Structure 1
Amino acid sequence: MESPRFDASVYARRLSAAAAATAEAGLTGLVISPGYDLRYLIGSRADTFERLTALVLPASGDPTVVVPRLELASFRGSFLSELGVAVRDWVDGDNPYELVSAALGGAPAATAVTDSMPALHVLPLVGVLGVLPVLATDVLRGLRMVKEECEVDALRKAGSAIDRVHARVPEFLVPGRTEADVAADIAEAIVAEGHSEVSFIIVGSGPHGADPHHRYSDRELQVGDIVVVDIGGTYEPGYNSDSTRTYSLGEPSSVVAEQYLLLQRAQRAALDFVRPGVTAEQVDAAARDVLAEAGLGEFFVHRTGHGIGLSVHEEPYIVAGNDLPLAPGMAFSIEPGIYFPGQWGARIEDIVVVTEDGALAVNNRPHELIVVPVS
């Protein structure tokens, strides 16, 4: 079954923009192996390793896909002909790197390669191109960071789908059940609510909630636990959801309730600060300053957010030191957290898209600490 993609015109615009960016960078071309960059540029989910598959995109001239003959089926039904992409297949015993060089006009060729290309292919390319490639990340960053309308629509649908999962989470949080039990229910719900697959699940109960990257374990939920639930899935054509809410099994203590309100205020401050022209680090500071002024700064141990799209984590990163000005169409998380080692933790996360005058949140579940009644 063919994987869903956008209309061919979307990929045609992207190829044209990527070629222009390549020329502006003073490069001969891009060599893009399977991964998110290849999916972004032509919608392909081809997946090979030891045999080279790559899109060769010259700064001027027609693009070419170099692909093993036994992998040609992975491009069947694709938009290659509509996009004017030539196909150069090869068989074992041929030198596919020479095909790449020919598609770029011959050596020497100053090229950029995707950051997911293994050394298994980078090193032979150096031999035929005559120069060490640079990373294509710098060339494609500006394109992938700013989402088109169709991408924003996909992110909104993904956000609504994960909101529906969070609406069901309280029924899964029953004292005596394990984090793994809850994660299994969530995984089933992620697919049932419209995602094509599960990207990740974090169920951090009690002291496990103080580990931002905890997944789930055999720990049994207990009355009084604070539970961090951070979940996401892939929504076709390949865009990701990512949302965190924090739950309390029974009424929280006054200390927990007070500190959670400060976290809620910090997340709101960052959301309200998002607009074109402000920098990523200013948004990070908007959340961080609220917690620091309340004496909780040392318990906020990660960046405020990360970009999202075809990959769960991509640019822009909302972090101190990133002076990138925000622009309409950029999409990223706002997710401050507080973590008290050995005790409990909390995080609130929404995905937002920068608009002409502010931000659109694609997640709309309540931000309050969600109290789950227990008997």
Structure 2
Amino acid sequence: MSTTVSATNPAALARRLERTRAAAANAGVDALLMAPGSDLRYLLGAGGSSFERLTCLVVPAEAAPVLVVPKLEAPGYDAVPTGELGVELSTWVDGEDPYALVASLLPKASRVAVGDVMVALHVLGLRRALPDAEQVLAGPIVRELRMRKDAEEVDALREAGAAIDRVHARMAEFLQVGRTENEVGADIAAAIVEEGHAVADFVIVGSGPNGASPHHSLSDRVIEAGDVVVIDIGGPVAAGYNSDSTRTYVMGEPRDTDVSKTYAVLQEAQRAAVAAVRPGVLAQDVDAAARQIIADAGFGEFFIHRTGHGIGLDVHEDPYIVAGNDLPLEPGMAFSVEPGIYQPGRWGARIEDIVVVTEDGVESVNKRPHELVSLPVR
């Protein structure tokens, strides 16, 4: 197991743990049982992973939290300020029953919330150890906390946004006629790390007709003059918060005569969606602001995904900017605004920024221009 510890200050973590305890009580659960992953990193500043051995943060509604961890993996959490956070460390060794250990901490539990990413092996083990306790998902409880970023989290998102902007600023180094998407993608992945990310989480290079597939990754297709190319890239910075930014490029002059006119529609849609963001606006209305412009221009059938997704310790998290989501936006919520137009067999385009809802409007953490960037054909 490897454990990643972020630089989140102990006071912020303590506030998160206290808010989580209160949220558990309000939700009518006796405890949250959180496995390694982004929720654990949110609460302890530590990531990590859990395989056949159980690691579990027990957050009772009316008692101090306890981190249950295999003794051989406990050193990975040495940097967690458990004393300052009021978190007890409880270890176990092979041959002992970690599920019984968790159950002993919750002798009167009738309802527990398990982390959404906890593997079935551990969920079922806890069910056997707590046969009288109803299991529900912790996601609806924790997402209410994680959706609203604090100042430290917003700073981390700004850092990630600036880092990915620097990669897009270097695109002419990588994106060249005669190279394959795979070759370009490898260079971009290296640049993502060079420019300040811990790792490159994803790289999409969708050239020509491949750009019409929003989640195309990489291929051995050779980039040609006249291609429109969608570049969607991102990854976490050291604090664990993610970047995610898409820009669209063209190799010289576009092969298709409708590119400039169609791309102008996309620019207008992305601009309108960002302008719609402010406290009190419903998430679905931001989606509608982009979608209406694209539909009115005759491209509605080619906008085939939601306008945005929340971002933070996960690349995709709440809130989702999608039709049917009547969640009112609040200060601190962070999400992508990324309308796209995808014409199968021809080409596609997408513009994506990460934005944060402010007290009176919106801030974009990405600053790169939105124009269709023409790269030289060498």
Q: TM-score range by the shorter chain?
A: over 0.9
Within the candidate set 113, 116, 133, 1:131 is matched to: 133
Tell me, what secondary structure is at the counterpart of 1:239?
A: coil
Number of residues of Structure 1 aligned to a counterpart in Structure 2 = 374
Identify the residue that residue 282 of structure 1 maps to in structure 2: 285
Identify the residue that residue 325 of structure 1 maps to in structure 2: 328
CA contact (8 A) 1:2 1:77 kept: no
**Which blocks of at least 5 consecutive residues in structure 1 are unaligned?**
none
User: Once structures 1 and 2 are overlaid, which stretch shifts more, 305-314 or 61-70?
Assistant: 61-70
User: Once structures 1 and 2 are overlaid, which stretch shifts more, 75-84 or 301-310?
Assistant: 75-84
Shift in Å at residue 74 of structure 1? Answer: 1.3
Within the candidate set 265, 268, 273, 1:265 is matched to: 268
2:68 & 2:81 partners in 1: Cα distance?
Answer: 15
Shift in Å at residue 46 of structure 1? Answer: 2.6
Identify the residue that residue 302 of structure 1 maps to in structure 2: 305
Shift in Å at residue 108 of structure 1? Answer: 4.0
Tell me, what secondary structure is at the counterpart of 1:197?
A: coil
1:4 & 1:334 partners in 2: Cα distance?
Answer: 27
Is residue 183 from structure 1 mapped to residue 173 from structure 2 by the alignment? no
1:4 & 1:313 partners in 2: Cα distance?
Answer: 20
Amino acid at match of 1:193: E
2:104 & 2:47 partners in 1: Cα distance?
Answer: 24
Tell me, what secondary structure is at the counterpart of 1:198?
A: coil
- Percent same amino acid among aligned pairs? 60
Amino acid at match of 1:230: D
1:5 & 1:320 partners in 2: Cα distance?
Answer: 36
1:156 & 1:178 partners in 2: Cα distance?
Answer: 31
2:279 & 2:251 partners in 1: Cα distance?
Answer: 39
Tell me, what secondary structure is at the counterpart of 1:277?
A: coil
Structure 1 residues 334-374: Cα deviation after superposition (integer angstroms, max 9, x where no partner)? 00000011110000000000001111000010101001121
1:167 & 1:2 partners in 2: Cα distance?
Answer: 29
Within the candidate set 13, 17, 33, 1:15 is matched to: 17
Q: What is the TM-score normalised by the length of structure 1?
A: 0.98
Is residue 312 from structure 1 mapped to residue 315 from structure 2 by the alignment? yes
Identify the residue that residue 350 of structure 1 maps to in structure 2: 353
Q: RMSD across aligned C-alpha pairs, in angstroms?
A: 1.1
Q: What is the TM-score normalised by the length of structure 2?
A: 0.97
1:260 & 1:2 partners in 2: Cα distance?
Answer: 41
CA contact (8 A) 1:333 1:350 kept: yes
1:233 & 1:56 partners in 2: Cα distance?
Answer: 29
1:366 & 1:316 partners in 2: Cα distance?
Answer: 25
Structure 1 residues 58-105: Cα deviation after superposition (integer angstroms, max 9, x where no partner)? 00111101111111111112111211111111112211112112222x
Tell me, what secondary structure is at the counterpart of 2:236?
A: strand
2:311 & 2:373 partners in 1: Cα distance?
Answer: 25
Amino acid at match of 1:235: V
List aligned pairs for 1:1-375, cutoff 5 A: 3-104=5-106, 106-129=107-130, 130-252=132-254, 253-375=256-378
Structure 1 residues 283-342: Cα deviation after superposition (integer angstroms, max 9, x where no partner)? 000000000011100000000000000000000000001000000000000000000111
Amino acid at match of 2:26: E
Amino acid at match of 2:293: V
CA contact (8 A) 1:229 1:246 kept: yes
